[in-house]
Chain A
Amino acid sequence: GDSVTQMEGPVTLSEEAFLTINCTYTATGYPSLFWYVQYPGEGLQLLLKATKADDKGSNKGFEATYRKETTSFHLEKGSVQVSDSAVYFCALSVGTSYDKVIFGPGTSLSVIP
């Protein structure tokens, strides 16, 4: 079945460090891919998305490129800030129906000053 795998956390980085959170997926068909972020005590927010191969989603300095050949959608940021501390979820939805979004397990990121 369709699934999402993320690198295990927690990830701890110093401020201004480079961030990569790996995400790979298994899906039948051609999924849309998403990164959601959950700040402490809050619900999830869509961070970025990509709907077809080679698309790059970007927002707030974060980027992810839809790589069909490697079935990956890794999240990157060049210089993290303390305010980026959160849990990051990779997710997919398949086909023309986005009724079911399948989430990865989440990766917790802590950025220390």
Chain B
Amino acid sequence: DSGVTQTPKHLITATGQRVTLRCSPRSGDLSVYWYQQSLDQGLQFLIQYYNGEERAKGNILERFSAQQFPDLHSELNLSSLELGDSALYFCASSVESGGETQYFGPGTRLLVL
């Protein structure tokens, strides 16, 4: 158990819909990272927040957004969903912004029908 929690574990929705994925980092970790894992794209870094502020951006679509709240939990919002957005979404956390070791949550499996 990494100490990172993600909800929900599974999510099934339809194209065009909007969903919110939630992540609680390990106690004491200030950084939260979001990744998308799909069969064709592999593991892709989406975005990182550090202590409430956006710190780094990767291959995140404009339809996707994230935020980190004062209690350090983070939410990833996915809108206008397409079939190709079906994937595993992982959250990871680390102590600092430049934290080498990232601790991954169990992931949220999203299926868009």
On A, residues with C-beta under 8 Å from B are 32, 34, 36, 41-46, 49, 51, 89, 93, 96-106
Contacts and interface: CB of A to CB of B under 8 A. Distances in A.
Q: Which of B43, B58, B106 has the most A CB atoms < 10 Å from its CB?
A: B43
A43 B104 contact: yes
A99 B101 contact: no
A48 B104 CA distance: 15
A57 B112 CA distance: 40
A43 B100 contact: no
B25 interface: no
A106 B40 CA distance: 12
B45 interface: yes
Interface in B54-113: 55-56, 58, 90, 92, 94, 97-107
Contact of B2 (A43, A93, A105, A106): A43
Interface residues of B, number: 24
B42 interface: yes
Interface of B: 2, 4, 33, 42-43, 45, 48, 55-56, 58, 90, 92, 94, 97-107
Contact of B100 (A41, A45, A98, A106): A98
B104 A98 contact: no
Given A102-B45, A103-B42, A96 B104 contact: no
B42 A43 contact: no
Contacts of B106: 41-43
Given A43-B4, A43-B90, A98-B98, 10 more contacts: A34-B100, A42-B107, A43-B92, A43-B105, A44-B43, A44-B90, A44-B92, A44-B104, A98-B99, A100-B45
Nearest to B42: A105
A46 B105 CA distance: 12
B38 to A, nearest CB: 11
Contact of A97 (B2, B43, B98, B101): B98
A89 B43 contact: yes
B42 A101 contact: no
